[in-house]
C-alpha cells in the first residue's frame, strides 16, 4: 500500500513522463525502485511510458493499454526469427539448430558438475516466446 505522499509523487513523475517533460535522474531512479517492488507503481509507470511513446494510439493499442499488455518500449519488442531453434551466434550471425541439438544443449546444462559457459551463454538468453 502506498502512502498518500508516495502516490502523489508517483503520479507527478508519471504525468511528466507521459507529457514528455524532463524528469530528473534521481526521480527516475526513485520511481524505478518503487516499480521493481510495487505492482501498482509498475503499472502506472508502464502506462505513462506507453502513452509517451504512442500519444495517439489506434484501437488495438487502446485495447492493449486498457489490459496493460505488452512492453511500452519498442526497443524491447521482438524482431527477426521467432523460432526457438534459431539463435544468435557470438558475432550476431544467426545459427539454426535442429530441435534435437537444442534439446541436447539444454540437457548438458542440467547435468550436475558439467557447467559449460558457452552453453549457458546461449541458453541464458531470453527465449523468443517469453
Region 4-9 average pLDDT: 94
Claim to verify: residue 112 and residue 56 sit in the same structural domain = no
Is 129 inside any structural domain?
Answer: no
Mention every residue, 6+ apart, whose C-beta is less than 8 A from residue 106: 123
What are φ and ψ of residue 49, in 5° steps? -65, -40
Report the DSSP beta bridge partners of residue 88: 94
Domain with 16, as residue range(s), is 4-76
Claim to verify: residue 72 and residue 96 sit in the same structural domain = no
Q: Are 52 and 18 in contact (CB under 8 A)?
A: yes
Distance CA 26, CA 40 (A): 20
39-53 and 25-37 helices, crossing angle to 10°: 130
Is 50 inside any structural domain?
Answer: yes
Distance CA 72, CA 99 (A): 32
Is 111 inside any structural domain?
Answer: yes
Above pLDDT 70, what percent of the chain?
62
Claim to verify: residue 69 and residue 102 sit in the same structural domain = no
**Selected residue with higher pLDDT from 112 and 51:** 51
Q: What pTM, to 2 d.p., does this model score?
A: 0.54
| Domain count across the chain | 2
Is 81 inside any structural domain?
Answer: no
- pLDDT tens-digit map of 45-61: 988 888 888 778 788 87
The region, left, alpha or beta by phi > 0 then psi within -120 to 50, assigned to residue 93 is beta
Q: Are 31 and 13 in contact (CB under 8 A)?
A: yes
Residue 47: the pLDDT is: 86
- pLDDT tens-digit map of 56-92: 878 887 887 778 777 766 666 666 655 555 555 556 5
Is 44 inside any structural domain?
Answer: yes
Distance CA 8, CA 1 (A): 13
Claim to verify: residue 106 and residue 53 sit in the same structural domain = no
Claim to verify: residue 25 and residue 64 sit in the same structural domain = yes
Is 48 inside any structural domain?
Answer: yes
Amino acid at each position: 500500500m502506498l502512502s498518500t505522499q508516495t502516490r502523489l509523487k508517483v503520479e507527478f513523475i508519471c504525468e511528466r513522463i507521459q507529457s514528455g517533460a524532463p524528469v530528473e535522474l534521481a526521480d527516475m531512479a526513485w520511481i524505478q525502485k518503487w516499480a521493481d517492488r510495487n505492482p501498482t507503481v509498475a503499472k502506472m509507470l508502464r502506462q505513462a511510458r506507453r502513452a509517451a511513446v504512442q500519444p495517439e494510439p489506434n484501437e488495438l493499442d487502446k485495447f492493449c493499454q486498457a489490459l496493460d499488455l505488452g512492453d511500452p518500449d519498442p526497443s524491447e519488442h521482438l524482431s527477426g526469427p521467432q523460432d526457438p531453434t534459431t539463435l544468435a551466434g557470438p558475432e550476431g550471425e544467426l545459427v539454426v539448430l535442429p530441435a534435437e541439438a537444442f534439446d541436447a544443449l539444454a540437457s548438458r546444462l542440467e547435468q550436475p558438475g558439467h557447467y559449460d559457459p558457452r552453453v549457458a551463454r546461449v541458453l541464458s538468453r531470453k527465449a523468443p516466446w517469453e
